[in-house]
Structure 1
């Protein structure tokens, strides 16, 4: 009887999961949020997780994984779907570096917002060393940059 209660509770919790539409440009962060919701709502069934993800794909993203979607879901389907979407939507190290080098400047953003965007693009295995610091400084207007040249800590630069 306890197993049935847990099963029914899982069904109720699964209905309470509210995922946003899949974020193609930040797929990794989307899956972090989705899996957080699955944990909070105690949705542990991989097929149910798969179904939730599928329900939040737009037509373009669904096309990229159509072979997975056409098969009957198994416990491995969620991981296969996640892996494929991440592979298709995650920037390579080279692409991340190219985007960092092509940053459009500060614009109307706050320096801390620019730093956050740059950190999101920074390859995971890279540190915020002198090159990263210089790329950040180059995005700032010259009159601001002059006051920051002696600050070496990137955390202090963006405040």
Structure 2
């Protein structure tokens, strides 16, 4: 009986890199790694490299040209996220000065503000900011509401307030 060695290639469906949400992109990528049973550090590292545009390769050029001997994937992941993600200060500044309802539903806009604010900004402040940026007729409806049920309906999809 011959001792044959077999090499199998597994296709990974890597989404296009999301420079505005690198941490979320890595979550998607790691899902693909899990589905494809990819556990080798170097394989993960080179999948990341193969799916980055030139602009983002330049962001991590130092890591690519001199990768660590171990944990290459974790290093490039950590650095891409930290170098491309907006700082908490930048997100709060954007929250306070630039965000408008636009073509979003009020509930989508509120979730967007909540995501920008992170966990450090109190919900009452976010609600106040959100309300002030809604059309005046919607602001009037919210102001007329004597309880928080409308807010909870828009944000959580229910009128049940947490106890």
* TM-score normalized with structure 2 length: 0.80
Give the aligned partner of residue 79 of structure 1.
Answer: 74
- Name which structure has the greater RCO, CA cutoff 8 Å, separation 6+: 1
**Structure 1 residues 73 and 94: CA distance shift in structure 2, 3 A:** closer
Match of 2:128 in 1: 134
Equivalences, count? 149
State the Cα distance separating 1:72 from its structure 2 match: 5.5
**Alpha-carbon deviations, 1:29-65, whole Å to 9, x = none?**
1111111111122111111111111111111111111
CA shift in 2, pair 1:90/1:58, >3 Å: same
Are residues 157 and 145 of structure 1, via their aligned partners in 2, closer, same or farther at CA, if it must alter by over 3 Å? farther
Q: Does the alignment pair 1:148 with 2:142?
A: yes
Q: Is the partner of 2:9 in helix, strand or coil?
A: helix
Structure with the bigger percentage of helix: 1
TM-score by length of structure 1 reads: 0.82
Query: Quick check: 1:51 aligned with 2:46?
Result: yes
Rounded to whole Å, the distance in 1 between the matches of 2:98 and 2:113 is 8
Q: Displacement, 1:128?
A: 5.2
Among residues 6, 9, 12, which one is paired with 2:9 in the alignment? 12
Structure 1: runs of 5 or more not aligned: none
1:91/1:139 CA distance change after superposition, 3 Å: same
Instruction: Please list the CA deviations of residues 102-150 of structure 1 after superposition, one character each: whole Å capped at 9, or x if unmatched.
Output: 2442122211221232232122x32652101111112210101111233
Task: For residue 57 of structure 1, give the secondary structure of its aligned residue in structure 2.
Answer: coil
Note the aligned Cα RMSD (angstroms): 2.2
Q: Secondary structure at the match of 1:143?
A: helix
**1:30 matched residue in structure 2:** 25
8 Å Cα contact 1:47-1:78 kept in structure 2: yes
